[in-house]
Amino acid sequence: MTTKTEAKEIIKTENVNLYYGERKALHGINLNFRENEITALIGPSGCGKSTYLRCLNRMNDLIPNITITGSFTLNGHNIYGPKEDTVQLRKEVGMVFQQPNPFPFSVYDNVTFGLKLAGIKDKKTLDERVEESLKQAAIWNEVKDKLHKSALSFSGGQQQRICIARLLAIQPDVILLDEPTSALDPISSQMIEDTLLNIKDKYTIIIVTHNMSQASRISDKTAFMLNGHLMEVGDTKKMFLTPDKQETSDYLNGKFG
Amino acid sequence: MNEIKEKLLKPSKETHQDQIGHLISLVCIGFIGILVVAILFFITTKGLATFTTNHVSVIDFFAKSDWSPSQKGPNGKPEVGALAMIVTSFAVTLLSAILATPFAIAMALFMTEIAPKRGQKILQPVIELLVGIPSVVYGFIGLMVLIPMVRTVFGGTGSGILPATIVLFVMVLPTITSMSVDALKAVPRDYRSAALSLGATRWQMMYKVVLRAATPGILTAMIFGMARAFGEALAVQMVIGNAVLMPTSLTSPTATLTSQLTTQMGNTIMGTLPNNALWTLALVLLVMSLVFNVIVKLIGKRSAFKK
Ligand SMILES: Nc1ncnc2c1ncn2[C@@H]1O[C@H](COP(=O)(O)OP(=O)(O)OP(=O)(O)O)[C@@H](O)[C@H]1O
Ligand SMILES: [Mg+2]
């Protein structure tokens, strides 16, 4: 896919190979992501979606014996460069995990966590950012009277939206979501999908999902992975209606997966 | 057919075993239960005898610090004021726990976050060794090494709260450390990746998330350390000076509840006031250990990540 368009490609990855010890988990992946688009990563379990996603904010660095080759750039600069500051990178490329993982603190302390790391102490600024982020994550109405209650006292779907708010508070450029709704009920999932659609004009979103209808509902682009290879990537509509590859069509039709 | 039916309906050998096993464990539990109740009853009645039989005023006991239950004091009555011992007991307990906790947290962080492999390999055996050393050995080192050092630096006899605190520091350190390690390990890994993915450095992750989430566990560890320090008798008795006086400084000879018990218990006759007064000290120790237990339970209830 090399169609030229106006939208800027914010993340570019080229020839990505990744080994867990001796085992190769990613095979020469070339994939770019455009600003203000939602890209869905789909593929059967174990094909390397999470592995690839974690490369983008270097969360893989925490895994021992991992080897990553290839080129990764964010806004043109190499995120695996020798002087790269991973702490700064993760503020620009944020992540939402499969299991909601709010800290066992109050909602307020969760959402202000990243801001306080950045040294912001002014109460008014913090309050404003909290309200704004919780509103963006479509959870404000449910928590506005309970900001000082533990985030763990909310339902899974609410916790996940609190986690999204916690991330939005630090205003990253890119948001990575690894199956953010797989632990949630349909209504909570729906709310998170709406949230993503609402914020997409300000962010670049990459979402791993096993839910095909979710991918088709919210994403602009879809990338299909299989056994560590990128099989196909393109506009979601086209991909779901007329995929180029037989494997893609088989997967989308539930023949395996 | 009937034979089989009869066999099935009759209680089998296994059912009998089951019942016998049940009975044996009930008997054991009953025995221990009676024992515990008896101990509590005995200490309580004996401890209260000071106030009921010997008519010592409860207020005097807790508010005065003149202790001579075997001699008549200036007002013609024996003096039974335990305040000095209570103050000293609390002082050595609090000081040693407060001193040990930062070290314990540092060691626990090292063993769980900073270098889990090396930490486990080196520090774990060290901690186990410290636990295994009998308290008389700690006391002996305190008496032979610590007291002369304190004497040289601060003058006086060298005994008192300072050497007792130092000895207890070493003794409670392993308790607080190993329980803090458990508390840190109980913090779900998810919180760590969440913190890092939000741009926290490793230190910020430990300090702002892991330690904070583990605070109830670390407080519990501290309380256990304090319970140990409060109850330690032998080692403290060897370095505290054993003079029932209100401590005037960290190096003035004094006594704790436990040290007074160990030094005096051979010198009194059952049923007399000096003996009953010691039972009252024992009762105070018992009540304090109950208080420590209650605090631990209360902290456990408010533990942060147990929903
Ligand atoms: N930390 C790890 N160490 C070793 N191998 C790993 C590790 N994480 C993942 N793998 C392996 O890499 C491959 C890709 O895993 P990955 O988690 O990226 O798949 P996935 O596409 O996200 O699957 P799922 O849809 O089930 O989440 C799998 O074969 C997995 O066993
Ligand atoms: Mg995955």
Its pTM surpasses 0.95: no
- pLDDT of amino acid A1: 46
Q: Is the pLDDT of residue B65 over 50?
A: yes
> Quick check: A117 and B193 CB within 8 A?
no
> Quick check: A90 and B209 CB within 8 A?
no
- CB distance A47 to ligand 1 below 6 Å: yes
Smallest CA–CA distance, residue A250 to chain B, in Å, is 35
Taking only the tens place, the pLDDT of each residue in A131-162 is: 999 998 889 999 999 999 999 999 999 999 99
Helix H or strand E encompassing B67: strand B67-72
Taking only the tens place, the pLDDT of each residue in A171-200 is: 999 999 999 998 888 988 898 999 999 999
* Domain parsing of chain A, residue ranges: 9-245
DSSP-derived pairing of the beta strands A204-208 and A174-178: parallel
Q: What does the H/E/C string look like for B16-59? A: HHHHHHHHHHHHHHHHHHHHHHHHHHHHHHHHHHHHHCCCCCHH
Q: Which of A23, A50, A211, A225 to mutate to test the pocket of ligand 1 (most atoms within 8 A of CB)?
A: A50
Fold held by A9-245 = Rossmann fold (3.40.50)
CA distance B238 to B256: 11
The confidence band for B180, taking pLDDT boundaries of 50, 70 and 90, is very high
Q: Which of A27, A51, A54 to mutate to test the pocket of ligand 1 (most atoms within 8 A of CB)?
A: A51
Q: B193-228: buried (b, 16+ CB within 10 Å) or exposed (e) per residue?
A: bbbbbbbbeeebbbebbbbbbbebbbbbbbbbbbbb
Query: Ligand 1 centre and the CA of A253: distance in Å?
Result: 23
Domains of chain B, with CATH numbers? Answer: 85-302 (1.10.3720.10)
Candidates A50, A59, A113, A121: best to mutate against B (most CBs of B within 10 A) is A113
B22 alpha carbon, distance to own chain's centre: 34
- CB distance A50 to ligand 1 below 6 Å: yes
Output the six-digit token pair for B186: 């109980």
Q: Is the pLDDT of residue A4 over 60?
A: no
The neighbour count for residue A12, using CB atoms within 10 Å, is 15
CA distance B188 to B233: 39
- CB distance A65 to ligand 1 below 6 Å: no
What phi and psi values does residue B71 have, to the nearest 5 degrees?
Answer: -125, 155
- pLDDT of amino acid A111: 97
DSSP H helices, A118-150, are 123-136, 140-143
Residues B256-273, mean pLDDT to the nearest whole number? 92
Q: Is the dihedral of CA A53, A56, A59, A62 positive or negative?
A: positive
Q: What does the H/E/C string look like for B185-251? A: HCCCHHHHHHHHHCCCCHHHHHHHHHHHHCHHHHHHHHHHHHHHHHHCCHHHHHHHECCCCCCCCCC
3-state secondary structure of A12: strand
Q: Which of A99, A114, A150 lies nearest to residue B199, judging by beta carbons? A: A114
- Residue with the larger pLDDT of the pair A205 and B117: A205
Taking CA B71 as the corner, what is the angle to CA B241 and CA B236, rounded to the nearest 5 degrees? 20
Q: Is the pLDDT of residue A8 over 90?
A: no
Output the six-digit token pair for B97: 């726990």
Q: Is the pLDDT of residue B305 over 70?
A: no
- pLDDT of amino acid B307: 44
